[in-house]
Amino acid sequence: MTEENTGGCTCGGEVGDGHCEQEKRLGWHEYFMSVARLISQRATCTRGHIGAVIVRDNNILSTGYNGAPSGLPHCNETNCRIYRSTHPDGTVEENCVNTIHAEINAIAQAAKHGVSIKDADIYITASPCIHCLKVLINVGIRTIYYEKPYKIEHISELLRLSGIRLVQVQVDGPEKHCSC
């Protein structure tokens, strides 16, 4: 299948008639976060759909989404098994026993296929939990790009000590502008 009209007029107008809109090309951050969003649609956790993409030199190395280990029942097939843990500051967190987080699944996929992710970056649809952050530190992730904040107050000290950058990426719908 061939592509037609890539990057050109998408509105059916004639060049120069003032009615032509051209789609803006996605930047790398928008591209990878859009991929993470798409991957999150495979998630089987009934409490949230998270996607992760591990990237180095603008190449996708691995992806992951939250769900049960391969071959085991998913939360959308059975009931979630929730457990509660208490942080040192007294806040209570609830997690599912069945679910592996998107970041860990992306790391596991890289390991399974022999892909080095040292000095890579990760794009996640939500900032990592403290447990995922600890693993991201150990595998050598340099920068974490996230879309939505999730309990950032619990990870700020680890971020400071580790030197990993945490950067929020806002992705809006596709922009168009007239350039005809």
Q: Give the domain ranges of the chain.
A: 28-67+100-168
Longest C-alpha distance within the chain, in Å? 64
What pLDDT, on the 0 to 100 scale, is given for residue 52?
98
CA 180 – CA 178 distance, rounded (Å): 6
**Is residue 101 part of an annotated ligand binding site?**
yes
What pLDDT, on the 0 to 100 scale, is given for residue 22?
65
**What is the tens place of the pLDDT at every residue in 32-68?**
999 999 999 998 887 789 999 999 999 999 999 998 8
User: What is the pTM (predicted TM-score) of this model?
Assistant: 0.79
Residues annotated catalytic, as ranges: 103
Return the percentage of the chain with pLDDT > 90, whole number. 52
Residue 95 in tokens: 């997690």
What pLDDT, on the 0 to 100 scale, is given for residue 12?
54
**What is the tens place of the pLDDT at every residue in 145-173?**
999 998 888 899 999 999 999 999 988 75
- Pick one of 1.10.1040.10, 1.10.287.3510, 3.40.350.10, 3.40.140.10 as the CATH number of 28-67+100-168: 3.40.140.10
3-state secondary structure the chain: CCCCCCCCECCCCCCCCCCCCEECCCCHHHHHHHHHHHHHCCCCCCCCCCEEEEEECCEEEEEEECECCCCCCCCCCCCCCEEEEECCCCCEEEEECCCECHHHHHHHHHHHCCCCCCCCEEEEEECCCHHHHHHHHHHCCCEEEEEECCCHHHCHHHHHHHCCEEEECCCCCCCEECCC
3-state secondary structure 99-132: CECHHHHHHHHHHHCCCCCCCCEEEEEECCCHHH
Return the percentage of the chain with pLDDT > 70, whole number. 81
pLDDT band at 178 (very low <50, low <70, confident <90, very high): very low
Q: Which residue has the higher pLDDT, 16 or 126?
A: 126
pLDDT band at 17 (very low <50, low <70, confident <90, very high): low
**What is the tens place of the pLDDT at every residue in 99-117?**
899 999 999 999 999 999 9
